[in-house]
């Protein structure tokens, strides 16, 4: 289940100091990449990067074009995202898939944290219903609902400009 965070409005804005620090870090990263390193050095660097972020902002693009957004701890498991999405669905019993932008399919029973999957500091995932189940529903003569989200969530939708 996604944790509820009250993030200040300036959470998403970079100050000039943060921008300068980010530029310095990127310059150092380019310098580091040009240097030969041992496997142990690379693994240590990866571990340091994984601890860098506390939160991750995940957006799920639904087939109807809506975006479902949640803020999670970077060390939370992928199952937390699946339960967050499932809570928002009108038909929460239907199986679905989440695909990362790189084409990586996330599995609900995967025991990986978001930072281990490369979903930190933010990511956009694509939602899709399990096609085999949808075909079974259509074969039975039932029509899938046009709305994916629960009605109370549809009332709270905000248009992005």
Please report the pLDDT score of residue 143 as a whole number.
67
Strands, E, within the chain: which ranges?
55-61, 67-73, 96-100, 105-106, 122-129
**Do you find a cis peptide bond into 113, omega within 30 degrees of 0?**
no
Please report the pLDDT score of residue 126 as a whole number.
94
**Strand, helix or coil for residue 112:** coil
> How much of the chain, in percent, has pLDDT values that exceed 70?
92
Least confident range of 88-92, 114-118, 155-159: 155-159
pLDDT digits (tens, 9 = 90+) for 69-96: 999 999 899 999 999 999 999 888 888 9
Please report the pLDDT score of residue 6 as a whole number.
74
Please report the pLDDT score of residue 34 as a whole number.
80
160: pLDDT strictly greater than 70? no
Q: Does the global pTM surpass 0.95?
A: no
How many CA atoms within 13 Å lie on the side-chain side of 42? 7
97: pLDDT strictly greater than 70? yes
Please report the pLDDT score of residue 35 as a whole number.
80
3: pLDDT strictly greater than 70? no
């Amino acid at each position: 289940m996604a944790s509820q965070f009250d993030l200040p409005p300036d959470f998403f804005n970079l100050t000039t100091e943060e921008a300068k620090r980010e530029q310095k870090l990127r310059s150092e990263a380019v310098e580091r990449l040009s240097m030969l390193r041992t496997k142990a050095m690379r693994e240590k660097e990866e571990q340091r990067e994984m601890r860098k972020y506390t939160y991750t902002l995940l957006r799920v693009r639904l087939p109807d074009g809506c975006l479902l957004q949640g803020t999670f701890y970077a060390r939370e498991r992928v199952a937390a995202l699946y339960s967050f999405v499932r809570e928002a669905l009108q038909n929460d019993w239907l199986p679905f898939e989440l695909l990362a932008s790189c084409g990586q399919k996330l599995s609900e029973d995967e025991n990986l944290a978001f930072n281990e999957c490369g979903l930190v500091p933010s990511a956009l995932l694509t939602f899709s219903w399990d096609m085999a189940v949808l075909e079974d529903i259509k074969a039975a003569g039932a029509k899938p609902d046009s709305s994916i989200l629960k009605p109370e969530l549809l009332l709270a939708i905000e248009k992005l400009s």
